[in-house]
Structure 1
Amino acid sequence: MNASRPDLVPDASLERDDMEALQREIAAAAAFEDDLEFDPAVLGDPLAASSSADDPPIVAGVDQSFLTNDAGDQDRALSAVVAMQGGEVIERVHAVTPLEIPYIPGLLSFREGAPILDALEELSVDPDLCLFDGSGRIHFRQAGIATHMGVVLDVPSIGVAKSLLCGSPREDVENLPEGRRVGIEANSRVDVADGTLLGYAVQTRQYDSPNRYINPLYVSPGHRVGPETAADVALALSTSYKLPEPVRLADSYADEAKRGLGE
């Protein structure tokens, strides 16, 4: 995969104000509505996929791990990509890139974007959809890592985050039943009108017990995907685990690749 918008590739040398300005430009270029070349319903219906005249869509999951130097400081990011088609893994790639800035909430893509783009460039297949471990539109400037990467590559993308970066749930999200979704709307911390639907808290899995519960995922469109479809995809691709399978396998592969480097 090559950059469709090389002018928007993350540049860790920028000043913070310039990074934030670039994110606003990315958000303006993003499409937070469906523009897919396949019916997302096939992702949750193997029979529909097998009966289609077209090949099943290729879905790539992206996750990161970190490597440390002799002093114990994180100095490199390892980005792992797992491409799946019809529920089967068809390719795995990874890339390691030096970290050039510290972790700053809201600027994750400038810290981790380079290894992600390097890893995606190694893929021999072209994903029809990418799922990122991180935020999409649920972001202060509507440009989380899924949006940034999606716009740069012009690929449909979804952000799947384990915690809520910003915005407000429209109702309580504690102990939601499996399959439930709750809208996340913009508040004063987000560069868009209050009340704008940014994404959903999605309960992909839940314990069958009154004494413990699983927190929801925070799913939002990155680029060329609408919020409803993003939530539908997260549910459709979550099997026996909380994370959608492409992201879960990318997380596992990142750990495996890290061990292979002796870290």
Structure 2
Amino acid sequence: MEPVHAEFLPDASLSREEIESLQREIADNAVFEDRFAFDPAAVQISSEPSQQQLTTAASDPNSDAAADAPLVAGVDQAFLDDRAISAVVVLQVGEVVERTHAVRELSIPYIPGLLAFREGGPIAAALATLDCEPDLLCFDGSGRIHYRQAGLATHLGVVFDTPSIGIAKNLLCGTPRESVDGRPAGWRTPIEAADAVDCADGTVIGHAYQSRQYESSNRHINPLYISPGHRVAAETTVDLVAALCDGYKLPEPTRLADSYADEIKAELS
């Protein structure tokens, strides 16, 4: 997988002012609407064909739903000393078709809003080792839910010009339209831009999505914060993530990438 816009690759040597300027330029180049070639209904983790796929197969006996299904890559990281272990796991209807990783030194500490400049280089190195070309990238981090609308998923989505989604466990900025407390599985609400976000107040920049919830009222699972990275609309991102969850809080691509990163970390330790 080769960068399409190498000029946007994260450079931790830039000044804070230069970084923020670059992020705004990346946001200007990002597309926060659906511009992808695959059928979103084909994004799934079950080998059982959907009703739409069954209908297509009936009308076209030569179709192969599994072979035509999009390749979805999950990206996550583990850390060892001052190194990042960037892991990528690519799935096609729930089957792992490729795993790869890269280990790189970290250049800067974690600073809210600058995650791509800390972890983006190692992730880009891992993506560059992929033999396949994913149709969709799922990142453990934010996309448009970002002060300058250019979180990790947006930054690297634009670099590789690939549809991408940010899936964060914590809300960086923006305001949920409704309270997120104690919601049932499947619930969602828009995240709207507020003063801290570099766009008009009220703009929908993502969603809170309750992917899983305990049955007992004594315990609660917090929602995921899902946002467009590049070439995917805000509403579509939630539908895609919902289709990729398999009874866990995290969607299967990033859950497996997280496990793979921990596996590599254990080997290096």
**TM beyond 0.5:** yes
Counterpart in the other structure of 1:29: 29
How far the C-alpha of 1:210 sits from its partner, in A, is 1.3
How far the C-alpha of 1:108 sits from its partner, in A, is 0.3
Which of 69, 91, 100 is the equivalent residue of 1:56?
A: 69
How far the C-alpha of 1:204 sits from its partner, in A, is 0.7
How far the C-alpha of 1:42 sits from its partner, in A, is 1.6
Distance 2:15 2:85 in 1: 24
How far the C-alpha of 1:7 sits from its partner, in A, is 0.8
How many residue pairs get matched? 256
Counterpart in the other structure of 1:175: 182
Counterpart in the other structure of 1:66: 79
State the TM-score, normalized to the length of structure 1. 0.95
How far the C-alpha of 1:96 sits from its partner, in A, is 0.7
Counterpart in the other structure of 1:40: 40
How far the C-alpha of 1:202 sits from its partner, in A, is 0.4
Counterpart in the other structure of 2:14: 14
Distance 2:92 2:261 in 1: 19
Counterpart in the other structure of 1:153: 160
One-letter code aligned to 1:139: H
Distance 1:124 1:143 in 2: 27
How far the C-alpha of 1:225 sits from its partner, in A, is 0.2
Distance 1:65 1:15 in 2: 26
How far the C-alpha of 1:209 sits from its partner, in A, is 1.1
Counterpart in the other structure of 1:224: 231
How far the C-alpha of 1:213 sits from its partner, in A, is 1.1
Which of 138, 151, 159 is the equivalent residue of 2:145?
A: 138
How far the C-alpha of 1:174 sits from its partner, in A, is 0.5
Distance 1:28 1:113 in 2: 19
Identity rate of aligned residues, in percent?
61
Counterpart in the other structure of 1:241: 248
Distance 1:92 1:247 in 2: 12
Distance 1:220 1:197 in 2: 9
Moved more, 205-214 or 139-148: 205-214
What SS does the aligned partner of 1:47 have? coil
After superposition, what is the alpha-carbon deviation per residue over 1:175-228, rounded to whole angstroms, capped at 9, x for unaligned? Answer: 111101010000000000000000000011111111111100000000000011
How far the C-alpha of 1:142 sits from its partner, in A, is 0.3
- Which consecutive residues of structure 1, in runs of 5 or more, have no partner in the other structure? 69-74
Alignment of 1:92-171 (within 5 A): 92-171=99-178
Distance 1:144 1:211 in 2: 34
After superposition, what is the alpha-carbon deviation per residue over 1:157-185, rounded to whole angstroms, capped at 9, x for unaligned? Answer: 00000000000000100111110101000
State the TM-score, normalized to the length of structure 2. 0.93
After superposition, what is the alpha-carbon deviation per residue over 1:116-145, rounded to whole angstroms, capped at 9, x for unaligned? Answer: 011001111000000000000000000000
Counterpart in the other structure of 2:95: 88
Distance 1:7 1:118 in 2: 15
Distance 1:41 1:138 in 2: 25
After superposition, what is the alpha-carbon deviation per residue over 1:16-50, rounded to whole angstroms, capped at 9, x for unaligned? Answer: 11001000000000000001111111224741457
